[in-house]
Amino acid sequence: MRSLLNCSLLLVCTQGLAQVGWTTLDIPSSVRYDDIHFINDSVGWAAGGPAGTIYRTEDRGDSWALQFTSSNFLRSIEFLDEQNGFSGSLNGQLYRTTNGGETWEDVAENIDPQPEGICGLSAPDATTIYGCGIWSGPAFVIKSVNGGNDWTYIDMSAYASRLVDIHFITPQIGFVTGTAAETSEGGIVLYTDDGGATWTPKFTTNTISDIIWKIQRLDAMTWYGSVFSEPVNDDTRMLRSTDGGMTWTMSTVADTYTYVEVIGFINPMHGWTGGHDQLWETTDGGETWAEVEVGFNYNRFFKTNDSTAYISGQRLYRYRGEVPQTGITEREQHTIAHDLTVMPNPSDGKFTIRLDLDLPTMVDLVVLAPNGATLARPMHRKAGKGTYTFPIDLGTAKGSGYVVMVRTNEGMQYRKVLLEETGQLWPRSANWWKRVKDSDITGRDAIPMHKNGISLDPDLFGVVHERGNCVVTPGSLIDDVTRAVNS
């Protein structure tokens, strides 16, 4: 695991009258707690992701007791009542408890075919439980109508290439979300009113390879969805429905890219969305958004009442809208699983991807074109701990906007890749360089982009690369650079 130290201090909220705010709960740090579920205001459980742990609280999250440790990645957790619950893994297990979490038994062998992993669980009543998966494909739904004794497997490949989240409001009526079977249709919301016998698409994002990662039901009419997007896109989006999920609208949270997984609203005006190291907050129903500091590696939002909600991440975070929070909390180190390196970068289209895996995981490693198309998929399988290298040759492809992205059970990482133009070399001299650096066309000096080059304002010039005694520029930008030099 890799730790990124952030020494800044997080102001939780000020003393005085009742304030709203987030606090970090007293539970051991994990790479990520992937799910959290409460059956009432006080009693809840958290699934510890790659740590394979399950914790229980009986005091609204003030304290947590370890109940179970597995060698498998625990993605989802759901309880039918205080005694009966399930936790799905990304390694093919489905754990069941009948005593409030004191003991757990793997019952996945009762499902035919046995799923590769279970990303989402939903229990609309005391005897019905649904599950779905898996983020890496294939797409399926599982269902039990007798408390988990017997299961039905529903192949969803006609509708989706992957499914991540599920929410049923009755044993017959519910939604699943993920990516459409035709990936160019992007993220998809699917609806059933007959217990999963038939499904109707209610919304697609129409952005290639989007995933509708999480779905939240605020009330009978108001629903939200988070949009996981690939880093070739340059915005952050979310979904909203105001008619019980029958129609959906997609809106922009930010004009910059955010690695999004979590979404949650505590009321129609106040909500959050984001992931990894960015969390956005709105207090006006999504008209405007601002970044806030809460924690790290966010995945699931769970609301217990009109003033209390939780987000699972590297730790568990609690929002309380009525009880004063006081003091200043030091932010902990950010722990990231795995490491992705691209060498050299920039390159001439030939480069090597190095992937260091800290633990066994599912890997989906892709090279993306600026339009989101997949140019190469050097790895799509379960892999053990270790170092993997892949030589890549993109031929004549040039320019910026290319991305190497890896998705694992623990999350996503990406590296932007610059493919140099081979076109024209400009002699480098001290006077030439001074005139470029001092050019006032952009209103600012050249800024460092990476260790092998520098850039003028990228909106005007793109990237200028230093090579020995010459400077290489993209051919389409030569006139602009010439004007800068000769000004």
Positive/negative CA dihedral, 261, 320, 270, 200: positive
- What is the spatial distance between Cα 199 and Cα 442, in angstroms, rounded to a whole number? 53
Tens digits of per-residue pLDDT, 184-239?
Answer: 999 999 999 999 999 999 999 999 889 999 999 999 999 999 999 988 888 999 99
Q: If you write DSSP's letter for every residue of 394-439 in order, what string do you get?
A: -TT--EEEEEEEEEETTEEEEEEEEE---SEEEE--HHHHHHHHH-
Radius of gyration of the chain measured on its C-alpha atoms: 24
- CATH for 337-419 is 2.60.40.1930
What is the per-residue pLDDT for 424? Answer: 37
Residue 327 pLDDT greater than 60, yes or no: no
DSSP state of 347: B
Report the percent of the chain where pLDDT is more than 70.
Answer: 80
Q: Summarize the confidence of residues 240-262 as an average pLDDT.
A: 96
Q: Return the pLDDT at 189.
A: 98
pLDDT above 90 covers what percent of the chain?
A: 70
What is 2-335's CATH topology?
Methylamine Dehydrogenase; Chain H (2.130.10)
pLDDT at 447: 34
Q: What is the pLDDT of residues 357-381, one digit of tens each?
A: 999 999 999 999 988 889 999 999 9
Is the pLDDT at 479 greater than 70, yes or no?
Answer: no
Q: Mean pLDDT, to the nearest integer, of 61-82?
A: 97
Q: Which of 22, 19, 20, 67 is nearest to 43 (CA)?
A: 67
Q: What is the mean pLDDT of residues 33-47?
A: 98
CATH 2.60.40.1930 domain residues, the chain: 337-419
Residue 455 has pLDDT above 60, yes or no: no
CA dihedral (273, 143, 171, 206) positive or negative = positive
Higher pLDDT among residues 444 and 267, named by residue: 267
Neighbours of 234 (CB within 10 A): 11
Both tokens assigned to 149 = 């004794």
Does the structure show a pLDDT above 90 at 441?
no
pLDDT of residue 438: 40
What 3-state class would DSSP assign to 137? coil
Q: In the chain, where does the domain assigned CATH 2.130.10.10 lie?
A: 2-335
pLDDT in tens, 138-178: 999 999 999 999 999 999 999 999 999 999 999 999 999 99
